Amino acid sequence: MALHDKSDRIDHVGPDLVWRQLAEDVESDIAAGALAPNAKMPTELELASQYGVSRVTVRRAVKDLAERGLLVVVHGRGTFVSRASASGAPGTSA
């Protein structure tokens, strides 16, 4: 799967935390429908490459999104967009 370069969406020199910028970008893709409910997310390494950040940064952003109910992490299977994110669950922008 070819991923689009999204590194220009991250400001590495500004005061905003990089993991938070990444989480906000993914959240906005979910809210816009670019990431559909139940869609499998790219792997941590793919996201790191796509955004030009470290894997640790991706892991922190995914953790935040999962805690807010936007993503579901299934050990051994991957990370998926939550079904609830489409229905305006708490923590979503809908």
32-45 pLDDT tens trace: 999 999 999 999 99
Phi first, then psi: give them for residue 11, nearest 5 degrees: -100, 105
Question: Helix, strand or coil for residue 70?
Answer: coil
Contact (CB, 8 A) for 79 and 30: no
The pTM assigned to this predicted structure is: 0.86
Residue 18: per-residue pLDDT: 97
Residue spans of the chain under pLDDT 50: 89-94
Helix axes 18-32, 44-51, angle to 10 degrees: 100
Number of H helices and E strands in the chain, helices first, is: 3, 2
